[in-house]
Amino acid sequence: MNSKPDNLCMAPWTHTYLSPQTERRLCCASREPAQNFKQYIDTAEGTNEYVPSTLEDWWNGEHIRRIRTQMLNNEVPPECVVCDKKLLNQDVYRDYFNHLFAHKWPEVLDTTTQSGHTSMQPVSWDYRFSNLCNFKCRMCGPMLSSSWETEARKQGKIEPWMEKSVKKSIDSFQKDTVEQEFADAVEEHRVEEIYWVGGEPLMYEQHWRYMQRIIELGDGPGLYARYNTNLSRINYKGIDLYSDILDNIRDWQICASIDGTGSVGEYIRTGLNYKEWLEYFRQGIGHSRNRRMMRIDFTLTTPGLFEVINICKLAKQLDVDILAKVTFAFTPDIAMSPLFLPRNLLESVIDDILPNCDNGTMHNMLTTLLDRPTFEEEYPDQYQQARIVGKKRMDAMDKLRGGMCFADTLDVQTRKWYNEIS
């Protein structure tokens, strides 16, 4: 076999991912059975006992060897359904890895045994050193935000991974093992690509320390760095993100999260200062060498349906592209997902938007959304009770945080429907 199978992804030979709770996965979009604690898109519960694995154990373990073997046989592993079915967005992660690491295909052939073992080492890193985050985005949760975790603790909502003894073990493993794995790769010049995401990566001290070290070692000209950030910080202890870090590496891309403009954006992403975000984004444009480097990262939520046109106008004003995706939801009680709406209402809202939506990416996302089943259609026996549960959750969050309410973000017909849920 010389040609690369159509269903093969280069990630299992190049990329390593670690969640804030130190769960290892093929990548951040893979749907897998949980190891210790169920992550937000996992397919099964974990043991709720903390037994972390090292990169050395994981990299050629039974799980990833099976995935490599399936891919070499042109099979689609079940872990890869998000890319295969385009559940998150149209620009799938598999295409990204295959484009970035196409030149490594001969090495895959030379180094991979029939059992899926490879002597290649990861060169692409998505290590989330903690859930540290200064925002409480309404479609997020404690696993990916320390601010969410603090709020949950105050309410007595303690998940297994939040227990003091477990949390201490996670922190110790991150500090003693995870950081050493990454530091070794940096010192050995084995980092070609980094995905900085969190939590909030620009809140990580590790981001600033390791990026500076890569530049000091002379590896900046070979590094590609990607960011998914709320862009609430661009300076740390006198180090400027743009002039001191990004201007000194080969290439970079910032996907700056914003899911609505003004007060609606600040409602969706609790902690956002919209004017500050806009100023920091414009500074990034001033340092970018092409329009791909600064992108608006837009996650379509139910309130965000009514901000699509404003986001399109913002992208045109800034002359940047939009990375658009839909809120993940694998249960029918997620009110922040547009699929929470009944079919007739969802179609009516989107039909009103499409004639005024001149952004191809957003237009594509909305038309594709119409082809997906709503929660009512996918969960016919659960959706009625799930709607009540979802509304109660949003109402409780609104009461806790104060200010604008969920219903305030909706148009007249959607607000009427939402308020009648009981």
Using pLDDT thresholds of 50, 70 and 90, give the confidence band for residue 1.
low
Residue 241 has pLDDT above 90, yes or no: yes
Does a structural domain hold residue 391?
no
**Exposed, middle or buried: residue 70 (CB in 10 Å: 0-12, 13-18, 19+)?**
buried
What is the rounded CA–CA span in Å between residue 392 and residue 335? Answer: 10
Q: How many residues does the chain have?
A: 422
Other residues' Cβ atoms within 10 Å of the Cβ of residue 58: 18
What is the rounded CA–CA span in Å between residue 241 and residue 255? Answer: 14
Number of domains in the chain: 1
Choose among 123, 126, 89: nearest CA to 108. 123
Does a structural domain hold residue 376?
no
Does a structural domain hold residue 54?
yes
- The full DSSP string for 28-86 is TT---B-SSS--TT-SB---SS-----HHHHHTSHHHHHHHHHHHTT---GGGHHHHTT
Does a structural domain hold residue 80?
yes
Q: Report, as an integer, the average pLDDT of 221-243.
A: 98
Q: Report, as an integer, the average pLDDT of 182-201.
A: 97
Task: Tell me which residue range forms the domain holding 76.
Answer: 1-120
254-289 pLDDT, tens digit each: 999 999 999 999 999 999 999 999 999 999 999 999
Buried b (16+ CB within 10 A) or exposed e, 215-248: beeebbeebbbbbbbbbbbbebeeeebbebbbeb
How much is the pLDDT for 144? 96
Does a structural domain hold residue 297?
no
Q: Which stretches of 174-242 are DSSP H helices?
A: 179-187, 205-216
Q: What is the residue-averaged pLDDT of the chain?
A: 96
Q: Are 14 and 124 in contact (CB under 8 A)?
A: yes
Whole-angstrom distance between the N-terminal and C-terminal Cα of the chain? Answer: 59
Does a structural domain hold residue 85?
yes
Using pLDDT thresholds of 50, 70 and 90, give the confidence band for residue 190.
very high
* pTM across the whole model: 0.93
95-121 pLDDT, tens digit each: 999 999 999 999 999 999 999 999 999
Residue 65 has pLDDT above 90, yes or no: yes
315-337 pLDDT, tens digit each: 999 999 999 999 988 899 999 99
What is the residue type of 278? Answer: L
Q: Are 67 and 130 in contact (CB under 8 A)?
A: no
Q: Report, as an integer, the average pLDDT of 148-167.
A: 96
Does a structural domain hold residue 30?
yes
How much is the pLDDT for 91? 77
Q: Is residue 237 left, alpha or beta, with left meaning phi > 0 and alpha meaning psi from -120 to 50? A: left
Does a structural domain hold residue 183?
no
Helix%, strand%, coil% for the chain, nearest 5: 50, 10, 40
